[in-house]
């Protein structure tokens, strides 16, 4: 079975390589802004927009006279940026047809260097080694991880991005993986929560790292320091970098915890020959409207948990069933089926008035999810 797996690894750049990456990122940003301005201008005059191919031909004609500095970077950088611009408009029109108007459509906007350096995409001859990667025009770059990338794999394109002073390379590689037949064991229900990240019906409980909560005071202090710096000063740039590094650290801790939990759940389900995994279709956008719990809910990452669980289970041939969000999994007794209509969010223990069973609220919900799946 052929599957596509994404790889993202940090690269260890020297000063010369950082300068080259900054030039490529700047060229990509310039091509995006130039193409967006040309599309808007053409639409006002003719009512139609030029495609990425038309814009690329026009930009190539201007390189020798107006933009000779673009010869210092790879030729595929502006081409891929214009293709991304076409894709952005395509997605915006799709969302408009779906009935999502206003800013929710997500119309393409001009990119500013003051907000983020951004990144760029490279195509062509890309070679992977045990501790290095070779990219067009940038040459051989040293990796900070050894033995992570599949040596000799065929890579069609690679995306280089910057975040909080660190540079990363991400790519998608097609791999052969033997499918695992679906087991005949009991289904595993997974209940997501704030106190515990995931509670499974087989008894495993995975705690949440609470990355934002543990670093909130430090983040508030650095944000206050940033707001007090004079705009345009070097001290403000330094303070902004400190805030960005802390945000990146929080996101990395959260993502690492989600990867560990989802991998552990899928691995255990495979070893137990589980029939399927069952999760609940949570209304995350609606849950975030709760002012008292919105920060804690956002700190968990429910949507990212579901995304990782689905693609990891699919790569092993393990089905993932999604139960309706209106299913009262926390209010139903997993033993006799009695429904507690008076239960509130503060009740962390489920007590059945019919059969007398006493269970943890999240564990009882996980058992009900497993049964419904």
Q: What angle, 0 to 180 degrees and rounded to 10, lies between the N-to-C axes of helices 302-315 and 234-271? A: 40
Structure tokens at 219: 């983040």
Q: What is the spatial distance between Cα 192 and Cα 309, in angstroms, rounded to a whole number? A: 12
Q: Would you say 171 and 7 are in contact if contact means Cβ atoms under 8 Å apart?
A: yes
Q: What is the spatial distance between Cα 204 and Cα 363, in angstroms, rounded to a whole number? A: 9
Rounded to a whole number of angstroms, the distance between the first and last alpha carbons of the chain is 26
Q: What is the spatial distance between Cα 234 and Cα 223, in angstroms, rounded to a whole number? A: 16
Structure tokens at 142: 């040293």
Give SS3 for 185. strand
Q: What is the spatial distance between Cα 354 and Cα 370, in angstroms, rounded to a whole number? A: 21
Which of 254, 373, 266, 244 lies closest to 316, judged by CA? 266
Output phi, psi for 35, to 5 deg: -65, -40
Q: Which residue has the tokens 């139960």?
A: 323
Structure tokens at 329: 């999994």
SS3 content of the chain, % helix, strand, coil (to 5): 45, 20, 35
Residues belonging to the active site: 191, 280, 362
Q: What angle, 0 to 180 degrees and rounded to 10, lies between the N-to-C axes of helices 15-46 and 76-97? A: 50
- Tell me the torsion sign for CA atoms 319, 324, 329, 330: positive
Q: What is the spatial distance between Cα 235 and Cα 167, in angstroms, rounded to a whole number? A: 23
Given strand 2-12, what is the order of strands in its sheet?
Answer: 119-123, 157-163, 166-176, 2-12, 139-143, 132-135, 127-128
Q: What angle do CA 158, 159, 164 make, to 5 degrees?
A: 145
């Amino acid at each position: 079975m052929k599957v596509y797996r994404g790889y993202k690894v940090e690269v260890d750049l020297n000063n010369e390589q950082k300068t080259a990456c900054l030039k490529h990122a700047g060229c990509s940003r310039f091509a995006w802004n130039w193409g967006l301005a040309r599309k808007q201008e053409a639409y006002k005059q003719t009512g139609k927009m030029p495609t990425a191919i038309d814009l690329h031909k026009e930009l190539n004609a201007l390189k020798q006279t107006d933009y000779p500095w673009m010869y210092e970077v790879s030729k595929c950088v502006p081409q891929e940026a214009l293709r991304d611009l076409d894709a952005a408009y395509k997605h915006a029109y799709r969302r408009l047809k779906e009935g999502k108007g206003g800013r929710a459509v997500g119309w393409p906007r001009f990119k500013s260097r003051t907000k983020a350096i951004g990144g760029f995409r490279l195509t062509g001859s890309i070679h992977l080694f045990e501790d290095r990667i070779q990219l067009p025009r940038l040459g051989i770059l040293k990796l900070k991880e050894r033995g992570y990338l599949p040596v000799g794999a065929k890579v069609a394109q690679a995306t280089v991005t910057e975040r909080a002073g660190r540079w990363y390379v991400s790519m998608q590689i097609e791999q052969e993986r033997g499918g695992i037949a679906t087991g005949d064991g009991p289904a595993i229900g997974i209940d997501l929560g704030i106190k515990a990240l995931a509670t499974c019906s087989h008894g495993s409980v995975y705690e949440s790292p609470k990355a934002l909560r543990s670093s909130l005071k430090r983040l508030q202090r650095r944000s206050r320091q940033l707001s007090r710096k004079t705009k345009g000063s070097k001290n403000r740039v330094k303070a902004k970098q400190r805030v960005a590094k802390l945000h990146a650290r929080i996101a990395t801790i959260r993502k690492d915890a989600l990867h560990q939990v989802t991998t552990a759940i899928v691995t255990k389900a495979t070893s137990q020959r589980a029939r399927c995994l069952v999760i609940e279709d949570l209304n995350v956008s609606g849950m975030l409207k709760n002012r008292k719990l919105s920060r804690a809910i956002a700190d968990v990452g429910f949507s990212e948990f579901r995304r990782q669980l689905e693609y990891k289970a699919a790569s092993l041939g393990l089905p993932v069933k999604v139960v309706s969000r209106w299913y009262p999994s926390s209010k139903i007794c997993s033993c006799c089926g009695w429904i507690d209509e008076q239960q509130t969010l503060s009740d962390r223990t489920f007590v059945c008035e019919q059969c007398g069973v006493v269970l943890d609220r999240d564990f009882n919900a996980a058992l009900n999810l497993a049964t419904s799946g």
